[in-house]
Structure formats: structure tokens, C-alpha cells
Amino acid sequence: MRIFVRTIFDKTFTVTTYLVVLMIIALLVIILGPMLSRGLSAVIFKDTIEFRKMQFALFNRGVESRILQETKETNAFRQKIYQTIDKFKQGIDTEALTEKARKIYREFGQQLRYKELPPEQFTILRTQAKEIRDKLETAFASQDKSEIASCINNVLQYRDDQEFKDTATEGFFKLALEFKNSVEKTDLSKHYLYVKSLQELESLIIELLGPRPDEPLPSTAMNQFGSTRWDIAQRIRDKILWTEQWVEHKPNESLIKIKTLRAEQFAGTDIEPLFGYIKDNIEQILKPRAKFYWQYFIDDSTPGHYFGGVGPEILGTLLLTVISMLFAVPIGIIAAAYLTECSSENLIIKIIRMCINTLAGVPSIVFGLFGLSFFVLFFLPLLGFPSKPCILAASLTLAILTLPVMIRASEEAIRSVPETYKEASLALGAGKFKTFMKVTMPAALPGILTGIILSLSRVAGETAPVLFTGAVALGPMPSSIFHSTRTLSYGSYDMAVGDRIAMMVPHNQYGMVAVLVMLILCLNIMAIVVRSRMFRKLHGH
Amino acid sequence: MNNANLNQLPEATADARSQPLLLTYSQDIRGFLSFHIGRTALFIVTCTSVLSVLLIFSFIFIEALPFLTKFSLLEFLTSKAWYPEAQSPQFGSLALIVGSIYVTVTAMIFSVPVGIFAAIFLSDIVSFEIRNIVKPVIELLAAIPSVAYGFFAVMVMAPWMQQKLGFSTGVNALNASFVLAVMALPTIISVAEDSMSAAGRELREASYGLGATRVETMFKVVIPSAHSGIIAAVILGMMRAIGETMVVWMASGNASQIPYPWWDLSQSIRTMTATIAGDMGETAKGSNHYRALFTVGLLLLVMTLCLNIVSEYFLSRTAKKSGKSK
């Protein structure tokens, strides 16, 4: 019985360890999976005509004649939406109507003045026009259909009057007729609701289609275009078709989401069929097409990363890593060579080793502080360069940060070269230096390479040390190493905690961090492959 | 190329043979000098790391010194009031220190059991081939940059916590600790596994020979024998967690407070690293606030240095032990 219990215990333990390791691997998948898959959607996605317009306008990419042709085609379908809304608005937007009526009245007054009529007639006409205007205003403000009808009829009685022919007052009658038509179909008690719903609808349609073709372009790039991506366009389409409301289902329970057709808000009006039209013709309106946006990796971006890619960030990251490696690699290899080949274990070496370990344990933010106080505020002015955060300062900070990684990896690689290699070389009469350069180094090279690759990946991913020494969230492409730069790591931070604009483009948020993670994963996988090949070579398999 | 070499070889040997074996004085001195100068040059380059450490300590200390002379260190360490930009600024970093320790300890509570189980799995349970596949996969966790972990915490964990767990805010101590725990795992696993593997076959075989099951062998023989390595692993994991900036900055909520009640992980906190990262951009160079941040950095540096020395001590004990058993 006791043995049985112990066996059960043992088996449970074994299973638990399996579960723990599976859990860790699952965590890796949970962390990387969404990041990479959603990041991929920044590069491979279905674009819309708006995307092609944006690419043409901002990056001068694409065939102009084709884009114009497509714009024409889509505008033909869009026109119906605009017309329907405008028509409906005439019965709804009473403020605008009143404004129009007043404008007509003023114009009529101007016209009368040029006609040189006898004063009595002038006064009569003027009074009549004023009466018409007032009647119309009452009609616009009224919510009672019979009152509106009587007002409009009153107005229309003047239509056949000879005096009003060919003057601005014709506008009155046109206005009156249109209003009459639209009022017949609308429920006036819902007037205020219509105004609100219409505003919402219009802003959604601007989000979907961009500004109207006949309107002036907004100044910021992000407002110049509609939905550039099909997935976002579909989301906005759903928002147009359905309204969402959070409703208290039962007291003391969390709210639940209820979806209703937006068409219900406009039941029985001219605008109701519009929703069916949008639903059926959305593809003609936006022309979605599969797109592989490889230029994401080289494109600059508009402020807030609303449009465009991560070109400057990639360039900045590469600059930082390469320059810091220029410092770290030679120093790291020489230090490793000295520690393995030239020294016996004495006190000085012990101190050096302790310093390397200490350096490896210094928190990355402290490296940032050090970079700021030493390189930016002390070292650069000492050499006569401007004392401001720049690529050089950041690279030097990163070089010191990665030095322990570099030294340890190189040391391990040099130590793993079999002693017999060196002994053979020494026996053939080569000096110590020659042996190291011609025998030890080539044999240790894959290991050193692994170290370099791992340091590269470490440097590329570090954010805290470059915060104060050379990274910025917004800025131009760096033109020399004395300028600050955007980097992938700082960009990822900025996008994640960033402003509202970044939240509107989740594909770009994930795209940025996915590029960083992919870069680092590729470097690491490369390191693993190099290491395993070296292992096989040294062990003669 | 090869041919040329072959042609030159006999000449060179003939030349060398005709030379007297005794070196001339100038050759002797030149050889002596080149050897020693080369060696010294290598030594100087090697000392870069020593120099870096010295520079780091001295520059952080120099920048922090005016603060230490102007304000009392005791107040800095014991006051909870961190109002650096107020009319009469107060620099009490207790809440920040507690915040750092709080997330670190919580992260360790998550990651130490998991890490030790995973280390046992790698060292004692699976075959060498599977281990060679699983280990690189776990090491990938260490490769993921901290800002990507922070991104995960903000974009995935925080909304999930808010919606599914009903926390008032998604960025809180639990979120930061959990992500820190994941980040510390690879360090803990790799160091603990090394020390367990170093515990030696004889110990395990003796235990199995006496009829112990695997779980008994592990917990009564291997882990006690590898305990110093495991302690070193935990300390190294702690160092990773306490020095981590981006994750805590993004995921901890940055509210300078000590959670009350103390076990309430759903509250926002603020750590030393996040304070430095967050405040440094807004301070004027040379102001009290700036100096105070360097003092926080110095404190952090001293803390990690102490942890480092302790871990070195435990690691050297394992090294000695395995040296003896060999």
C-alpha cells in the first residue's frame, strides 16, 4: 500500500513537470502568437481604393491613370450615398434651411434695389417676401404637419405672382416644395432623433469613405482618406449597419451589449434603403484587393504612425547595433583572448572577472543614466561635439552593456577549442600569437559568431539604455551619428502606451513590435544553428 | 597561391638554417618588447570592463552626490512622499523601493516553483535529444526583448484582466509581476539545471539503489545537494526582475503607493526603475529632481551589486563542490 502511494506520488510528480514545461511553451506561444500574427497583418492584408489613393498621394506609388479610373468608378457608387443623405438632410436640417431662406431674402432685397421700382411697389414686394420668409421659418420650426402644410401652401400661392418671376424668390418655392416632399415621409416627432442619428451616420461615412470629392482636403494626412484597410472598412460598415448599446440587463449585473439595426432609426424615411445599398455595394464602393505591402519595411510614417511603415525605425536600430558592435566586438574578443591565453588566475584577473560579472548585473536603466551623465554630458563635449542625445552616445552605451555577453561567449568559444590543436601548432614552431590567430581563432570563430549574434539581438531589443541617450519617438531620418534616431524598441513602447491615434491603428502597433521580435528571433535562431553546427564539428560527428 | 607558397618554403627554411641560433641583442630586445608591449596592450583593452564599472559607479555617484549632501538620506529611504515637482518638493523613495521589492518577490513566487520543476524536467526526466529541443525553446523566452513583454502586458494582459478578472485597472502589480516572472524563468531554469546536472550521477544512483523513487531522490538528495546553485538561480532571477524597466514602466500603473492591504495585487504601484525612466525626460539637468533620480539609480546599483556578490558566493560554492566531486 505504501509503495503504491509512493508510486502514485512519483508519477504525479513526473506528470507535473511535463505540464510545467508544456505551460512554459504555451506561454511562449501565447506571447508570440498574437504579436506575430497580428503584426503580419500590417504587411499582408486586403487594401481598399483609399489605400491606393493614400500610397499615390503620400509615397507617389502606383499608376495614376488606373487610380483615377478606379476613383471614378467608386465615386459613381458613392454619389448615391451622398445624394440620399443630402436629400434627407433638406427635411431635417432646419437650421440650414432657415439660413438658406434668410439668404434668399437678402438676395431678393439686393435685386429689388437695382430694379428702380416705385417706392410703394418696393415696399409691398419687400413685405411679401418677408412674409414668405417668416412663413417658411415657421414651417421649418414647426412639428405639426397640418401647420406646415398650411404655411407651405400659403407660400406657394405667391408662386404664380408675376412680380416674383425670375427673381431670387424662386429659391423660396423650390425650398418649400422640397421641404413639403421630405416632410410627408418623415415623422416630425422624431425630428431631433433624426438630427442626432444623421450626424452619427455622416461621421461614420466620412470614416469609411473619406471626405467628399467636392470638399476641400483636410490638412492632416489621417483625415484625407477613408478606410485604407478592408478589415477596418468592414468594421465601420458593421458600425453603420448596427448600433451598439450597453444596457443594464438585470440590476447588479454587468451591462450587456445589444445590437440593433441602425436602419430602424430611420424607419420609413428616404434614408432607410441606403443601408441595404451600402451593404450590397460596399465592394464596389471600396474595391478591396489582396495586398503584400513589403514597402512597410522601408516607408516613413505620418505622425502617430497612422499611415506608412517602419523604415526609419529599422534604419535606426541597425545603425545603433552595428556601431555598438564596432566597439564591443574587438574589445570583447581581445579581452577574452587575454583572459584565456595570457593570464594565470591571479588577483588582477579575479578583479577583472568580478567587474565583468558586475557589469552584466547592472540594470539596463542604470546604463541609461550612465550614458546620459558620461557620454552625453561629459564625453561628447570633451571631444568638442554638441552635448545632446545622439546615435554615437547610444551606441557606446549599448556597447558597454553588451560587453559582458561578448566576453563570456568568446571566452567560452576559445576555451572549447581542444588543447591538442594549440599544442600541435606550438610544436610546429609557431609563436603564441601566430597560434592564436591561425589556429585558435578559426576554430573558435563559430562560437564567437554566436556571441556576436546574441549581442546583436540583445542590443537591438534594449530600450531603457537608449531612452535618454539617443532614441526619440518622432523625428526625421538621422543624417549623421550626432543625431538622435527612432528605434524599433522605443517605437514599440511609444505605440503601446501611445495616444489615441496609435490605438486607431492596431495593425501598426503590432506591426512595429512584430518587426522587432522577428528580427531578434531570426538572430537567435541563427545563433542556435551556428552553435549546433559548431558542436557537431568539434565533437567530430 | 598554393604554388607560390610551395616555392617559397624551401628558401625560407634554407634562410632560417643559415641564421645563427643565438639572437642578436636588437632582436632579443625587440622580441622582449613586442611580447610585453603586446601583452600590456591586451591587458589594457581587457581592463575596459573594469574601467566601465568604475566609470559607471563614479558618474552615478557624482551626479547623486549633491542630492545626498542637500537632503537627508534617512528621509530619502524612509519617507513615502515622492512629490519631486511640488512647490516644496519631497523626495521619499520608500514607496518606490517597496514597489520594486514587491513586484520582484511576487514574480519570484510565481517563477521559482515553475523554474525548479522545469529544471528537474530538463536535467532528470527527459532524454538528451528532447532536452536539446526544449532548452533552446525556453531560451527564446530570454531572447524576447523586454519592450515586447511590456507590449504584451499592456495590449493583451491588461484588457484581459480588466474584463475577465474584473480589476479596476489592467495595469497593476499582478500584471507586472506575472510578466516579470515569465522573463525571469529562463535565467532560473538554466542556472538551476546546471547545478542539478552538476550534482552528479553517483548521488542519484545511490539514492535509486536504496529504493527511493524519483520524486524522493529529487527532493531529498539532488535538490539539497544543489541548493547553493538553486539559490544563485533565484538571486539571478531576482536581479533580472528588479533591474527590469520597460515591463514595470508599462504594466505596473505607475502610482507611487504602497498597496494596502499588502496582499492586494490588483493595485497599481511604482518601481524605482520605472520612476527613473518616466521622470528623467521631464527634469532639468542639474535640478534636485534630476539628482534624486540619480540617487535612486545609485540605490538600484548598490542593491544589484549586493545581489550579485551573494549570487557569486553561491555559484562559487557550487563550482567548488563539483570540482571536488570530480
Q: Are residues B183 and B317 in the same domain?
A: yes
Distance CA B156, CA B185 (A): 20
The answer to whether B42 contacts A377, with C-beta atoms less than 8 Å apart, is no
Q: Are residues B120 and B142 in the same domain?
A: yes
Q: Which residue of A has its CA nearest to B126?
A: A18
Q: Which residue of A has its CA nearest to B310?
A: A358
**B12 falls within a domain:** no
Q: Which tens digits make up the pLDDT trace of B190-225? A: 999 988 888 888 889 999 999 888 888 888 899 998
Q: Which residue of B has its CA nearest to A461?
A: B145
Mean residue pLDDT of chain A comes to 83
Q: Which tens digits make up the pLDDT trace of B35-80? A: 888 888 888 888 888 999 999 999 999 988 988 888 888 888 888 8
Distance CA A336, CA A333 (A): 5
Q: Is the pLDDT of residue B178 over 70?
A: yes
Q: Among candidates A152, A513, A67, A331, which has minimal Cα distance to B156?
A: A513
The answer to whether A17 contacts B300, with C-beta atoms less than 8 Å apart, is no
Q: Which of 153-192 (B) contact A at CB < 8 A?
A: 154-156, 182, 185
Q: Which residues of B touch A42 (CB under 8 A)?
A: none
Query: Cell 476641400, residue?
Result: A216
Residue B215's contacts (CB-CB under 8 Å, 6 or more residues apart) are A9, A10, A13, A14
Mutate to test the interface with A, among B44, B53, B147 (most CBs of A within 10 A): B147
What is the Cα gyration radius of chain B? 28
The reported pLDDT for the residue numbered A515 is 92
What is the second-level CATH architecture of the domain A311-538? Orthogonal Bundle (1.10)
Most distant CA atoms of chain A, gap in Å: 130
Q: How many CB pairs under 8 A join A and B?
A: 238
Residue B21 — pLDDT band, cuts 50, 70, 90?
low
Q: Is the pLDDT of residue A97 over 80?
A: no
The answer to whether A403 contacts B46, with C-beta atoms less than 8 Å apart, is no
Q: Distance from A260 to chain B by nearest Cα, in Å?
A: 23
Phi, psi torsion values for B289, nearest 5 degrees: -60, -45
Q: Which residues of A touch B300 (CB under 8 A)?
A: 363, 365-366
- Taking the Cβ of residue A20 and every Cβ of chain B, the question of whether any pair is shorter than 8 Å is answered with yes
Mean pLDDT calculated for residue range A482-510: 85
Q: Is the pLDDT of residue A170 over 80?
A: no
Q: Are residues B46 and B98 in the same domain?
A: no
Q: Are residues B199 and B141 in the same domain?
A: yes
Q: Which letter, b or e, does each residue of B287-317 get, where b requires 16 or more Cβ atoms within 10 Å of its Cβ? A: ebbbbbbbbbbbbbbebbbebbeebbebbeb
The answer to whether A359 contacts B143, with C-beta atoms less than 8 Å apart, is no
Residue B1 — pLDDT band, cuts 50, 70, 90?
very low
**B116 falls within a domain:** yes
Mutate to test the interface with A, among B144, B171, B268, B287 (most CBs of A within 10 A): B144
Q: Among candidates A516, A54, A50, which has minimal Cα distance to A289?
A: A50
- Taking the Cβ of residue A327 and every Cβ of chain B, the question of whether any pair is shorter than 8 Å is answered with no
Q: Are residues B166 and B277 in the same domain?
A: yes
Q: Which tens digits make up the pLDDT trace of A128-144? A: 778 878 877 777 777 77
Q: Which residues of B touch A7 (CB under 8 A)?
A: 213
Mean pLDDT calculated for residue range B79-108: 87
Residue A186 — pLDDT band, cuts 50, 70, 90?
low
Q: Which residues of A touch B156 (CB under 8 A)?
A: 30-31, 34
Q: Which residues of A touch B43 (CB under 8 A)?
A: 338, 342
**B2 falls within a domain:** no
Is residue B320 a contact partner of residue B313, using CB atoms and an 8 Å limit? no
Q: Which residue of B has its CA nearest to A333?
A: B46
**B4 falls within a domain:** no
Q: Distance from A298 to chain B by nearest Cα, in Å?
A: 21
Q: Which residues of A touch B277 (CB under 8 A)?
A: 365, 368, 464, 467
The reported pLDDT for the residue numbered A1 is 61
- Taking the Cβ of residue A293 and every Cβ of chain B, the question of whether any pair is shorter than 8 Å is answered with no
Query: Which cell goes with B20?
Result: 645563427
Burial of A176 (C-beta count, 10 Å sphere; 0-12/13-18/19+):
buried
The answer to whether A331 contacts B245, with C-beta atoms less than 8 Å apart, is no
Residue B110 — pLDDT band, cuts 50, 70, 90?
very high
CATH number of the structural domain spanning residue B141: 1.10.3720.10
- Per the structure, how many domains does chain B have? 2
Nearest to B301 among A35, A331, A362 (CB): A362
CA distances for A379 relative to A374, A510, B196, angstroms = 6, 37, 46
Query: Cell 588582477, residue?
Result: A348
Q: Distance from B118 to chain A by nearest Cα, in Å?
A: 6
Q: Which residues of B touch A492 (CB under 8 A)?
A: 147-148, 151
- Pair type for strands B90-91 and A256-261: unpaired
The answer to whether B242 contacts A363, with C-beta atoms less than 8 Å apart, is yes
Nearest to B45 among A16, A331, A461 (CB): A331
Q: Are residues B125 and B111 in the same domain?
A: yes
List the domain boundaries for chain A: 2-40, 47-77+191-298, 84-189, 311-538
- Taking the Cβ of residue B21 and every Cβ of chain A, the question of whether any pair is shorter than 8 Å is answered with no
- Taking the Cβ of residue B136 and every Cβ of chain A, the question of whether any pair is shorter than 8 Å is answered with yes
The answer to whether B137 contacts A25, with C-beta atoms less than 8 Å apart, is yes
Q: Is A478 helix (H, G, I), strand (E, B) or coil?
A: coil
The answer to whether A339 contacts B46, with C-beta atoms less than 8 Å apart, is yes
CA distances for A175 relative to A137, A147, B56, B168, angstroms = 11, 17, 79, 54
Q: Looking at this predicted complex, what is its ipTM?
A: 0.88
Q: Which tens digits make up the pLDDT trace of A360-390? A: 889 999 999 999 999 988 888 888 888 888 8
Residue B4 — pLDDT band, cuts 50, 70, 90?
very low
Q: Are residues B81 and B110 in the same domain?
A: yes
Mean pLDDT calculated for residue range A324-330: 92
Nearest to A342 among B42, B53, B246 (CB): B42
Residue B254's contacts (CB-CB under 8 Å, 6 or more residues apart) are B171, B268, B270, B274, B278
Q: Which residue of B has its CA nearest to A376?
A: B285
- Taking the Cβ of residue A351 and every Cβ of chain B, the question of whether any pair is shorter than 8 Å is answered with yes
Distance CA B153, CA B171 (A): 8
**B16 falls within a domain:** no
Residue B320's contacts (CB-CB under 8 Å, 6 or more residues apart) are none
DSSP state of A290: E
Query: Which cell goes with A372?
Result: 546620459
Q: Of A51-60, A215-224, B196-205, which range is least confident?
A: A215-224
The answer to whether B52 contacts A21, with C-beta atoms less than 8 Å apart, is no
Q: Distance from B257 to chain A by nearest Cα, in Å?
A: 21
- Structural domain of residue B65, as residue ranges? 21-70
Determine the angle formed by the axes of helices B128-143 and B173-198, rounding to 10 degrees: 140
Residue B248's contacts (CB-CB under 8 Å, 6 or more residues apart) are B100, B103, B176, B180, B271, B273, B274
Mean pLDDT calculated for residue range A311-321: 90
Q: Which of 96-135 (A) contact B at CB < 8 A?
A: none
Q: Are residues B27 and B164 in the same domain?
A: no
Indicate the residue type of B308: N
Q: Select from B13, B40, B70 the last residue of a domain.
A: B70
**B30 falls within a domain:** yes
Phi, psi torsion values for B197, nearest 5 degrees: -65, -35
Distance CA A225, CA A505 (A): 14
Q: Distance from A512 to chain B by nearest Cα, in Å?
A: 10
Q: Which of 509-538 (A) contact B at CB < 8 A?
A: 509-510, 513, 516-517, 520-521, 524, 528
Q: Which residues of B touch A521 (CB under 8 A)?
A: 140, 143-144
Mutate to test the interface with B, among A17, A351, A432 (most CBs of B within 10 A): A17
A398 CB-side CA count, 13 A: 33
Q: Of A112-116, A350-354, B141-145, B291-295, which range is least confident?
A: A112-116
Mean residue pLDDT of chain B comes to 85
**B3 falls within a domain:** no
pTM given for the model:
0.84
The reported pLDDT for the residue numbered A213 is 78
Cis status of the peptide bond prior to A273, with omega within 30 of 0:
no
Long-range contacts of B261-266, Cβ-Cβ distance < 8 Å, separation of 24 or more = B265/B106, B265/B172, B265/B173, B265/B174, B265/B177, B266/B161, B266/B165, B266/B167, B266/B168, B266/B169, B266/B172, B266/B173, B266/B174
Q: Are residues B159 and B287 in the same domain?
A: yes
Q: Are residues B168 and B241 in the same domain?
A: yes
Q: Are residues B205 and B306 in the same domain?
A: yes
Distance CA A40, CA A511 (A): 7
DSSP letters for A348-396:
HHHHHHHHHHHHHHS-HHHHHHHIIIIIIIIIHHHTT---S--HHHHHH
Query: Cell 466620412, residue?
Result: A206
In angstroms, how far is the first alpha carbon of chain A from the final one?
49
Beta-bridge mates of residue A47: A229, A289
Question: CA torsion A387→A388→A392→A394, rounded to 10°?
Answer: 130
Beta-bridge mates of residue A292: A44
Q: Which of 155-194 (A) contact B at CB < 8 A?
A: none
Q: Which residue of B has its CA nearest to A339?
A: B46
Q: Is the pLDDT of residue A334 over 60?
A: yes
The winner for highest mean pLDDT among A307-311, B75-79, B94-98 is B94-98
A167 CB-side CA count, 13 A: 25
Mutate to test the interface with A, among B103, B125, B126, B155 (most CBs of A within 10 A): B155
Q: Which tens digits make up the pLDDT trace of A276-299? A: 888 888 888 888 888 888 888 888
Q: CA geometry: angle at A59 spanning A55 and A65, to 5°?
A: 60
Indicate the residue type of A125: L
Q: Distance from B74 to chain A by nearest Cα, in Å?
A: 22
Nearest to B273 among A365, A461, A490 (CB): A365
Q: Are residues B63 and B101 in the same domain?
A: no
Mean pLDDT calculated for residue range A345-360: 87
Residue B301 — pLDDT band, cuts 50, 70, 90?
very high
Q: Among candidates A54, A312, B265, which has minimal Cα distance to A62?
A: A54
Q: Which tens digits make up the pLDDT trace of A409-468? A: 899 888 888 888 888 988 988 888 888 888 888 888 888 888 898 888 889 989 999 988
Per the model's pLDDT, the better-predicted residue between A184 and A42 turns out to be A42
